[in-house]
Amino acid sequence: MKQPRGGEACPSRGVRAVGVCQRFGRRVKFAIRAGRVQGFLCTSAWWGWVYLGERVPGVVYCSMGKRIASGGAGVVRGPGPGRGQGSGDGGALFARGHLLQLAGLSAKELRAILGRARVFAGHDADGSDDPKAWRERLRGKVVANLFFEDSTRTRVSFAVAAERLGAQVINLTSVGSSISKGETVADTALNVAAMGVDGIVMRHKSSGAPHLVVRTLAERAHSYDDAGRVCSVINAGDGRHEHPTQGLLDIYTIAERFDRLDGFDLSGLTVGIVGDIASSRVARSGIVGLGALGAKVVCIGPPTLVPRSIEAMGCKTTHDLDGVIGKLDAVNVLRIQFERHDGGGGGGEKMPGASNAVASVREYYEVYGLNSARLAKLRPGAIVMHPGPINRGVEMSSEAADSGQSMVLRQVRHGVAVRMAVLEMCLNASAQGR
Ligand code: MLT
């Protein structure tokens, strides 16, 4: 996003500048008076007017008018999202024991997490950390997995990670809990926190839901904890916003393959993210995290799924997969997230094909599917990734998914190490008091 200075003059509202909302990848206009951001207008009719809540240098926090009750706090970052300047709220939240997004984490903070993951992945150079002691790291702590949206890999991976560190894991899903009786996500989180859990790992279909939970827990801390402590909150995927641990494990996988585990410097590498960027939290975490560590990121797909505005996050876009595929070191293929698309009729779960953004799945596969012919066009040594779940024959063929270049299962493996690092760092920050 552009720094909110300069911009076009607007007689009625002072100076305006244009940026992109980090959460939604949508254009926002800033109103600036006396050299300071006074508010901004998100051009999406859905979100309507937004106003400025509080300020941290380089960061604009916004509330979203009446919609905040269901959507949570919005975040618009300051200088150069994903450029590792550490000026967003990600770093501040991380220091307080929460990981809600990669946006705003500095390259140093990202490297600290990845470096710790390296130990847990068994790739540590000196091997000084004794795996037998890992179970002591979070012994006596309780981690609640609050998954308001379906998950296989992420939920199991967090559970395995927590248990490897000696924590007890409680699993809560929408089905079988009071969420199905209409309890709000904030109330559910408050009740879980009041039981004394040390960490909440949450997934929710609304972008910003974990931010809302952190804010609510902090506001009500003294009503459920004598010392006013706030348990850690870790985002396991919120709507279209971010999926920070997926971003980290993708980075780890690329670093391992290209021998960058020492220092996690990804400069010189070009990563293509192919598919449904508009709906993807994986893409947003990837763009900021990879960019912060020096990689070039190109988002590839049809115009309906790859809005040009996403470039403001620090990546390039193209609609021509065949034109660019031979220049990529890593190609991260995304599922078409039909459940987040309009169209196709009816409500509830959307089936493949039920989308205004993708007229024909067959045609999509023809133009953007990673098939054997495209696999052959990849550079020698280039890798294929996918966050899962894979829809074989929609975004990639079985040959591509199961090929020697495919890192899909290494991604899953690294996910446990990354989540061990995140849980350890967040819950220990929480133990030291925030
Ligand atoms: C997600 O939760 O975003 C997944 O990891 C990717 C997907 O659902 O396609």
Whole-angstrom distance, CA of residue 278 vs CA of residue 301: 10
Predicted local confidence at residue 81, as pLDDT:
28
Whether 130-241 and 244-340+353-414 share one fold: the answer is: yes
Q: Which helix (H) or strand (E) holds 173?
A: strand 168-173
Q: Which of residues 33 and 81 earns the better pLDDT score?
A: 33
The radius of gyration of the chain from alpha carbons, rounded to an integer in Å, stands at 21
- Tell me the two tokens of residue 28: 């926002």
Angle at 419 (CA atoms; ends 226, 245), nearest 5 degrees? 100
Hey, whose CA ends up nearest to atom 9 of ligand 1?
A: 335
Q: Mutate which of 279, 334, 335, 394 to test ligand 1's pocket (most atoms within 8 Å of Cβ)?
A: 335
Whole-angstrom distance, CA of residue 14 vs CA of residue 255: 46
Whether 196 has a pLDDT exceeding 90, the answer reads: yes
In angstroms, how far is CA 55 from the centroid of its own chain? Answer: 23
Whether 69 has a pLDDT exceeding 80, the answer reads: no
Residue 69 CA, ligand 1 centroid: distance in Å: 25
Hey, whose CA ends up nearest to atom 5 of ligand 1?
A: 387
Give CA separation, 180 vs 155, 176, 183, 419, in Å.
Answer: 19, 7, 7, 28
Q: Mutate which of 102, 203, 281, 396 to test ligand 1's pocket (most atoms within 8 Å of Cβ)?
A: 281
Whole-angstrom distance, CA of residue 347 vs CA of residue 349: 7
Angle between helices 408-431 and 244-257 (to 10 degrees): 120
Whole-angstrom distance, CA of residue 279 vs CA of residue 24: 9
Predicted local confidence at residue 8, as pLDDT:
31
Residue 30, amino acid: F
Predicted local confidence at residue 93, as pLDDT:
83
Write down the architecture of domain 244-340+353-414 according to CATH: 3-Layer(aba) Sandwich (3.40)
Q: pLDDT grade, residue 412 (50/70/90)?
A: very high
Could you identify the atom of ligand 1 that is nearest to the CA of residue 282? 3
Predicted local confidence at residue 342, as pLDDT:
73
- Tell me the two tokens of residue 227: 């010392």
Q: Would you say 116 and 429 are in contact if contact means Cβ atoms under 8 Å apart?
A: no
Residue 36 CA, ligand 1 centroid: distance in Å: 37
Ligand 1, pocket residues at CB < 6 Å: 237, 243, 246, 281-282, 335, 337, 387
Residue 61 CA, ligand 1 centroid: distance in Å: 26
Could you identify the atom of ligand 1 that is nearest to the CA of residue 337? 9
Tens digits of residue pLDDT in 29-63? 555 444 444 444 443 333 322 333 323 222 333 33
Q: Where are the domains of the chain?
A: 15-84, 130-241, 244-340+353-414
At residue 362, φ and ψ (nearest 5 deg) are: -65, -45
Could you identify the atom of ligand 1 that is nearest to the CA of residue 149? 2
Q: Which of 1-5, 224-228, 277-281, 371-375 has the lowest mean pLDDT?
A: 1-5
CATH superfamily of 130-241: Aspartate/ornithine carbamoyltransferase (3.40.50.1370)
Q: Mutate which of 153, 246, 390 to test ligand 1's pocket (most atoms within 8 Å of Cβ)?
A: 246
